[in-house]
């Protein structure tokens, strides 16, 4: 009896709910932390960025218009699916980040818990950040946080799963749609996460994941006029100032890159949620 040969996965992009190859036909080799070949990943092009932004924009009305309860359920479903694929993530994480198994377990578990944490925020953020404004006049005036729109997210380069979840989940929890550029050298967990998203009732286009050269894609994503906000976390340091300048052309909200990648294991707060929310104030007279 001969030993069975595994079926190797083809890692593709995740755009508009589908898994296309890069329109450019390019791919690049992904290796583990010791340089051993793991897989070929699609190397997205500027046109893939364009398609992903279009998909995210198309998905925005539906996702932002869904009830907060519904968004919470969908995001919780993502956590369930993450839990189901725990072993796969453990293996990919151990390979790509080169961490011991115990550490990998802890990271994956935290990533799952983080997703649950943000899932629970969808129907609370308006209570916490919104307000009934006691204006000096016969008006009912209230403020509600609304999603900013399409957010370009540069996932952290080091923490390929927990970091990724920590930057993506708050974008989605607030009702935004995302175009995420995965860690350049550690893209595999991002693609596997895409597969989770695709099977979690998350409408196609709400999250779009591109793999490739961050430095090549960043100027296209950040300058895209239909992108409302960007998280520059995983961008190359040498490009950051220029990217911020580019973001200014359409007054994008910019979540700047931290000087050093933070410890993603630390408990989060709601800053990242707030970063992609627009408080909207509505006035109406009160009379008979």
Partner 1 sequence: MEPVWEYAPAPESRDIAGAKPSYRMFVDGQFVEGAGEPLKSINPATEEVLTEVSTASPSDVDNAVKAARRAYDKTWRKMPGNERAKYIFRIARMIAERARELAVLESLDNGKPIKESRDADIPTASAHFFYHAGWADKLEYAGLGADPKPIGVAGQIIPWNFPLLMAAWKIAPALACGNTVVLKPAETTPLTALVLAEICQQAELPPGVVNILPGAGDVGAELVNHEQVDKIAFTGSTEVGKLIQRSLAGKGKKLTLELGGKAANVVFDDAPLDQAVEGIVNGIFFNQGHVCCAGSRLLVQESVAEELLDKLRKRISTLRLGDPLDKNTDIGAINSAEQLAKIRELTAAGEAEGASRWTSPCPVPERGFFFAPTIFADVQQSMRIAREEIFGPVLSVLTFRTPDEAVSKANNTPYGLSAGVWTEKGSRILWLAGKMRAGVVWANTFNRFDPTAPFGGYQESGFGREGGRTGLEAYLDE
Partner 2 sequence: MATPTTRSASGLPAELAEATRDDTALRRFLHGLPGVDQVGVEQRAAGLATRSIKKASKLWAIDTAIGMVDLTTLEGADTEGRVRSLCAKARRPDPDRPETPPAAAVCVYPDLAECAVKALDGTGIGVASVATVFPSGRSSRAVKLADTELAVRAGASEVDMVIDRGAFLSGRYMQIFEEIQSIKEAAGSAHLKVILETGELATYDNVRRASWLALLAGGDFIKTSTGKVSPAATLPVTHVMLQAVHDWYVATGELRGVKPAGGIRTTKDAIRYLVAVREVAGPEWLSSRLFRFGASSLLGDLVLQRRTQLDGHYSAPDYVAVD
Instruction: Convert residues 132-161 into a mask of x (bound to partner 2 by CB under 8 A) and - (unbound).
Output: -----xxx----------------------
Under the phi-then-psi rule, with left for phi > 0, alpha for psi from -120 to 50, and beta for the rest, what region is 23? Answer: alpha
Cross-strand pairs, 147 = 277
Using CB under 8 A, pick the residue from 29, 133, 215, 262 that binds partner 1.
133
Binding status of residue 279 toward partner 1 by CB under 8 A: yes
Q: What is the DSSP letter of 51?
A: H
Complex with partner 2: residue 134 or 138, whichever CB lies closer: 138
Going by C-beta distance under 8 Å and a sequence separation of 6 or more, which residues neighbour residue 274?
129, 145
Task: Please measure the distance between the N-terminal and C-terminal CA atoms of the chain and give it in whole angstroms.
Answer: 86
| Segment near partner 1 (CB under 8 A); pick from 111-119, 183-191, 209-217, 268-276 | 268-276
Binding status of residue 287 toward partner 2 by CB under 8 A: yes
Selection from partner 1, partner 2, none that 9 binds (CB < 5 to 8 A by kind) is none
Q: Where are the alpha helices (DSSP H) in the chain?
A: 46-65, 68-84, 86-97, 101-119, 125-129, 162-173, 188-198, 214-223, 240-248, 271-275
Complex with partner 2: residue 35 or 137, whichever CB lies closer: 137
Selection from partner 2, partner 1, none that 133 binds (CB < 5 to 8 A by kind) is partner 1
Contact present, 220 and 46 (Cβ < 8 Å): yes
User: From CA 16, how far away is CA 20, in angstroms rounded?
Assistant: 9
Report the interface residues with partner 1, using CB under 8 A.
Answer: 65, 128-129, 131, 133-137, 139, 141, 143, 146, 148-149, 225, 228, 240-245, 247-251, 253, 256, 269, 271, 274, 278-285
Report the interface residues with partner 2, using CB under 8 A.
Answer: 137-139, 285-288
């Amino acid at each position: 009896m001969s030993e069975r040969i595994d079926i190797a996965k083809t890692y593709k992009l995740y755009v508009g709910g589908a898994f296309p190859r890069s329109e450019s036909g390019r791919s690049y080799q992904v290796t583990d932390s010791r340089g051993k070949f793991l897989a070929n990943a699609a190397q997205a092009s500027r046109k893939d960025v364009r398609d992903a932004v279009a998909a995210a924009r198309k998905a925005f009305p539906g996702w932002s218009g869904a009830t907060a309860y519904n968004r919470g359920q969908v995001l919780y479903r993502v956590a369930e699916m993450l839990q189901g694929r725990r072993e796969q993530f453990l293996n990919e994480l151990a390979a790509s980040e080169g961490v011991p198994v115990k550490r990998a377990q802890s990271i994956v578990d935290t990533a799952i818990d983080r997703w649950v944490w943000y899932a629970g925020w969808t129907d609370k953020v308006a209570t916490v950040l919104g307000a009934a404004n006691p204006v000096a006049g016969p008006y009912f005036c209230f403020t509600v946080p609304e999603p900013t729109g399409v957010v370009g997210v540069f996932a952290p380069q080091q923490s390929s799963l927990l970091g990724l979840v920590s930057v993506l989940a708050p974008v989605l929890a607030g009702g935004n749609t995302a175009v995420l550029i995965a860690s350049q050298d550690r893209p595999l967990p991002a693609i596997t996460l895409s597969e989770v998203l695709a099977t979690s009732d998350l409408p196609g286009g709400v999250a779009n994941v591109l793999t490739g050269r961050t430095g090549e894609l960043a100027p296209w994503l950040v300058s895209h006029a239909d992108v409302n906000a960007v998280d520059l976390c995983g961008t190359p340091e040498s490009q950051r100032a220029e990217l911020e300048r580019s973001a200014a052309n359409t007054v994008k909200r910019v979540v700047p890159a931290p000087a050093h990648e933070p410890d993603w294991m630390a408990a989060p707060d709601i800053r990242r949620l707030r970063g992609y929310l627009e408080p909207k104030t509505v006035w109406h007279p009160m009379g008979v």
